[in-house]
Amino acid sequence: MANLCAFISLAAFLAVGIPSLVMGQVVLPGECPKYATQARFNPAQFIVSRWYEISRYPSAFEDDTRCSVVDIKPSRQGALKMSFKGISTTDGGATVAAGNAYFDYGELSKFVVQIPVISWNTTLPIRFWIISTDYTNYAVAWSCNPLCTGFRQEQLWVLGKQTTLPATVWETVNSQFFAKGPFKASNLIPVDQKDCPSIL
């Protein structure tokens, strides 16, 4: 861990003034901010159908994927099943990162997803906070996890009920969350949703 922290510190130092992309992720100095999430969030409306990824921050577990989607479904065990699915741009095969999701300390707009990482023999907790949604067109989901002392790793997804967002919807999202903050559109990577196979 000490070596990882030293590497992150060096990479962040060298990247002053530009987006800090360390190991394919957005790494920033400081602790995780306390952003407000969707008021009066209704999880039943949010999880009823698939969400398509329109754009996202770089994500280690979604690296080199297109046609990416997020599926959230109830399970018989009482938890939710959340899956990040996509098509590999390397070999064209399906990629799936799936785990159990729980409400974070009873706050319905904040999910915590426990995703098993077999190669690391561990479980990766991912916060998935619904910053804003109208349930029928778009959602903005954000995640932040502390790394080392003084650094954090952020992820963000702009989601749509369709594979593209209507221009007027994107203008609203952009003006509210990116043009004047708190998030940076320059960190977003568009997700290719064209000619997607039906294997997901």
List the chain domain ranges: 19-190
CA separation, residue 91 to residues 38, 59, 65, 95, 198 (Å) = 38, 19, 10, 10, 16
- Whole-number Å distance between alpha carbons of 73 and 191: 23
Segment 127-165, tens digit of pLDDT: 999 999 999 999 999 999 888 778 999 999 999 999 999
Structure confidence at residue 88 (pLDDT): 94
Structure confidence at residue 24 (pLDDT): 57
Per mean pLDDT, which range of 5-19, 43-57, 91-105, 176-190 is the poorest? 5-19
Of 79 and 197, the structure prediction assigns the larger pLDDT to 197
Is the separation of the CB atoms in 128 and 112 below 8 Å? yes
Whether residue 171 is predicted with pLDDT greater than 80 in this model: the reply is yes
Structural class in CATH, domain 19-190: mainly beta
Is the separation of the CB atoms in 101 and 84 below 8 Å? no
Amino acid at 152: R
Whether residue 23 is predicted with pLDDT greater than 90 in this model: the reply is no
Mean pLDDT of 51-58: 96
Instruction: Render the burial of 150-170: b for 16+ CB within 10 Å, e for the rest.
Output: ebbbbbbbbbbbeeebeeebb
Residue 52: phi and psi, rounded to 5, are -95, 140
Structure confidence at residue 132 (pLDDT): 97
Show the DSSP H helices in the chain as ranges: 2-14, 43-46, 167-173
Whether residue 11 is predicted with pLDDT greater than 70 in this model: the reply is no
Whether residue 22 is predicted with pLDDT greater than 80 in this model: the reply is no
Amino acid at 176: Q
Structure confidence at residue 176 (pLDDT): 93
